[in-house]
């Protein structure tokens, strides 16, 4: 059985830096929204109904091999820091971490598969994989969906498909996304043009850290918008095709940068690495932008930096709740900065 | 009308944003809409969707105050409450609010009929045919990514579905549970 302590100590498997195009695509995610028939959606369900949903989901998941050894974390059993930790971990949404109703998350070992229970929908089946591998996450989630379907009676209509609390999710209930790193398109100011093209085919692009012009770390999340009237595989193929194009555009921009400004690029990368490697106090936002530069350097084949897995782990473990969980106690922001710099120094020293 | 964001281009996207718990009308151009994360489809500038919340799509249109008073026959949610929160109360809301929901769903998704997976309990004869197509596509995709275990499982389900279609069984609940230790 998984414990929160085990989660803190063991990095999520999707951070291992493997998978297709892992240098550009950090992760692929997919979630399916499902509700149980005859029970109001969580926001309007009674307390006994909500606990009933949790019991049904835990019961049904016992039949799923992919969830063997999974642990359930009830939100009302966790303190605020623990809940924020799960948000930073991308296991739960900010919505799930707030409020007081009976709700939680079931997490498989390795964290590549999980189910949020009683968020805005009764179930949110979610899978994540390192790199660009939508087929893999789809295979895992659809398989789990098949198993649960045998035990649970889903709210469904022939015309509208799977019924969800928010009409933007009705139909397939599916949201697939890739987290993509586009520093060269940002630096060469081609991003806006590229993203307009992406929006034109019905996909949403959002800055992963921050919004609009303040996108930190050059990370973007690309996801499908439409859930009604298009089959899951069609949606996935569309996202896959566009992501491939983004990878290609980013690749070309990177080549061009190296041709014209190799020294400046290397200088920027090594300065970023130097700060991460030797600083004595560092804020989490700074880590995001510095590790973006180092990630860029790694993908460009600059030798002597660190490896992708160490870099991914540094990014995740630098977040405020992670730092405090590692420290085992709440810390003031200034204390956190010192603790963070220390953690990063040690990881980079061991890395390479 | 010019864009409220850049003040230069023509505002083509009109939506209600949700700021400090208050609805706020915004009129922006396509470029700024993309920048702000409101997605516009190039083929049809009138059709747009926002990430969330969906309040934007609910408030306007000529539906009027009448529908606000419609109440869900099962959970009692008022349509006017849905306008505020953007969240429906239960599965029956889709039935009770069908009149105002139809245009809303069309604007969000551009389509009104579900395609794709469905629960086993729903697999009638027609559904089985659709399901067969879905499963075949999924199997090809599994083969393509060399996940042969998954492909074999899907192949078995396809065979069972085909058998059921040819023998004319289509009563709900007669679906053999797939992968449960039977079949090859």
DSSP one-letter string for A207-256: EEES-GGG-EEEEEEEEE---SSS-HHHHHHHHHHHHHHHHHHHHHHHHH
* B88 with A232: Cβ contact below 8 A: no
Give this complex's ipTM: 0.88
* B150 with A143: Cβ contact below 8 A: yes
Strand pairing category for A25-34 and A174-181 = antiparallel
Q: What is the pLDDT of residue A210?
A: 54
**Rounded to 5°, angle at Cα A42 from A40 and A46:** 70
Q: Which 8-state DSSP code applies to residue A171? A: B
Q: Which residues of B touch A167 (CB under 8 A)?
A: 54, 88, 101, 104-105, 108
End-to-end alpha carbon distance in chain A: 33
Contact B179, B134 (CB under 8 A): no
Determine which helix (DSSP H) or strand (DSSP E) holds A179, and give its type and residue range.
Answer: strand A174-181
* A160 with B94: Cβ contact below 8 A: yes
Q: Is the minimum CB–CB distance between B20 and chain A shorter than 8 Å?
A: no
* pLDDT tens-place string over residues B105-146: 988 898 788 999 999 887 776 667 777 888 888 888 888 888
Give me the residue label for tokens 């900010």: A94
* B150 with A139: Cβ contact below 8 A: yes
**CA B66 to each of CA A58, B62, B94, B106: distance values in angstroms, whole numbers, following the listed order:** 42, 10, 17, 20
Among B42-56, B73-87, B154-168, the least confident range: B42-56
User: Within a 10 A sphere around the Cβ of B22, how many other Cβ atoms?
Assistant: 8
CA distance A278 to A345: 6
* Of B21 and A240, the one with more pLDDT: A240
Mean pLDDT of B59-88: 80
3-state secondary structure (DSSP) of residue A303: coil
Strand boundaries in A4-134, DSSP class E: 25-34, 71-74, 104-107, 113-117, 123-130
* Of B163 and A27, the one with more pLDDT: A27
Q: Which residues of A touch B42 (CB under 8 A)?
A: 199-200
- pLDDT beneath 70, residues of chain A: 1, 209-215, 351-352
Buried b (16+ CB within 10 A) or exposed e, A223-232: bbbbbbbbbb
Label residue B38 by pLDDT band (50, 70, 90): low
Provide the β-strand partners of residue B71.
Answer: B78
**Does position B15 have pLDDT exceeding 80, yes or no?**
no
Nearest C-alpha of chain A: how many angstroms from B167? Answer: 23
Please, which residues have CB within 8 angstroms of residue A18's CB and are 6 or more apart in sequence? A130, A131
Q: What is the pLDDT of residue A259?
A: 93
* B105 with A161: Cβ contact below 8 A: no
CA distance B172 to B126: 12
pTM above 0.90, yes or no: no
CA distance A197 to A200: 5
**Does position B54 have pLDDT exceeding 60, yes or no?**
no
Q: Which of residues 86-145 of B touch A (CB under 8 A)?
A: 86-91, 94, 101, 104-105, 108-122, 127, 134, 137-138, 141-142, 144-145
Burial of residue B180 (number of CB atoms within 10 Å: 0-12, 13-18, 19+): exposed
**CA A189 to each of CA A168, A178, A294, B47: distance values in angstroms, whole numbers, following the listed order:** 32, 21, 20, 28
C-alpha count within 13 angstroms, C-beta hemisphere, residue A336? 18
């Amino acid at each position: 059985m998984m414990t929160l302590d085990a989660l803190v100590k063991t990095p999520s498997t999707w951070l291992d830096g493997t998978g297709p195009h892992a240098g550009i695509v950090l992760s692929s995610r997919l979630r399916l929204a499902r509700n149980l028939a005859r029970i109001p959606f969580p926001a309007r369900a009674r307390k006994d109904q909500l606990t009933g949903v949790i019991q049904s989901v835990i019961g049904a998941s016992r039949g799923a091999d992919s969830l063997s050894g999974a642990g359930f974390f009830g939100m009302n059993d966790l303190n605020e820091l623990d809940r924020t930790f799960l948000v930073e971990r991308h296991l739960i949404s900010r919505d799930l971490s707030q409020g007081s109703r009976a709700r939680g998350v079931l997490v498989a070992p390795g964290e590549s598969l999980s189910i949020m229970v009683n968020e805005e929908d009764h179930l949110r089946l979610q899978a994540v994989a390192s790199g660009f591998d939508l087929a893999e996450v789809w295979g895992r989630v659809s398989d789990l969906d098949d198993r649960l379907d045998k035990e649970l009676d889903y709210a469904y209509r022939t015309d509208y498909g799977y019924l969800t609390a928010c009409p933007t999710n009705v139909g397939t209930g599916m949201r697939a996304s890739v987290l993509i790193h586009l520093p060269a398109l940002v630096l060469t100011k081609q991003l806006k043009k590229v993203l307009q093209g992406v929006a034109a085919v019905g996909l949403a692009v959002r800055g992963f850290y921050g919004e609009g012009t303040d996108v930190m770390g050059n990370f973007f999340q690309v996801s499908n918008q439409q859930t009604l009237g298009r089959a899951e595989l069609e949606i996935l193929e569309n996202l896959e095709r566009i992501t491939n194009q983004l990878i290609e555009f980013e690749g070309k921009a990177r080549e061009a940068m190296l041709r014209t400004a190799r020294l400046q690029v290397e200088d920027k990368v090594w300065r970023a690495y130097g700060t991460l490697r030797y600083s004595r106090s560092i804020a989490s936002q700074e880590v995001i932008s510095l590790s973006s530069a180092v990630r860029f350097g790694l993908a460009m084949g600059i030798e002597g930096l660190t490896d992708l897995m160490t870099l991914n782990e540094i990014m995740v473990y630098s977040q405020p709740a992670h730092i405090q969980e590692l420290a085992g106690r709440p810390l003031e922001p200034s204390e956190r900065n010192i603790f963070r710099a220390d953690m990063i120094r040690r990881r980079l020293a061991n890395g390479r | 009308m010019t864009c409220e964001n850049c003040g230069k281009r023509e505002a083509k996207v009109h939506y209600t944003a949700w700021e400090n718990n208050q609805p706020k009308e915004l009129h922006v151009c396509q470029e700024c809409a993309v920048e702000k994360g409101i997605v516009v489809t190039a083929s049809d500038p009138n059709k747009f969707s926002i990430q969330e919340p969906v309040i934007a799509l609910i408030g306007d249109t000529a539906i009027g105050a009448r529908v606000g008073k419609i109440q869900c026959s099962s959970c009692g949610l008022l349509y006017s409450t849905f306008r505020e929160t953007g969240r429906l109360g239960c599965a029956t809301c889709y039935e009770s609010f069908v009149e105002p929901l139809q245009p809303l769903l069309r604007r969000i998704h551009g389509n009104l009929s579900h395609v794709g997976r469905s629960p086993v309990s729903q697999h009638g004869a027609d559904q089985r045919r659709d399901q067969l197509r879905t499963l075949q596509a999924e199997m090809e995709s599994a083969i393509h990514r060399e996940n042969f275990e998954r492909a074999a499982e899907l192949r078995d389900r396809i065979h069972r579905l085909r058998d059921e279609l040819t023998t004319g069984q289509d009563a709900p609940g007669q679906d053999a549970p797939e992968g449960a230790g039977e079949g090859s």
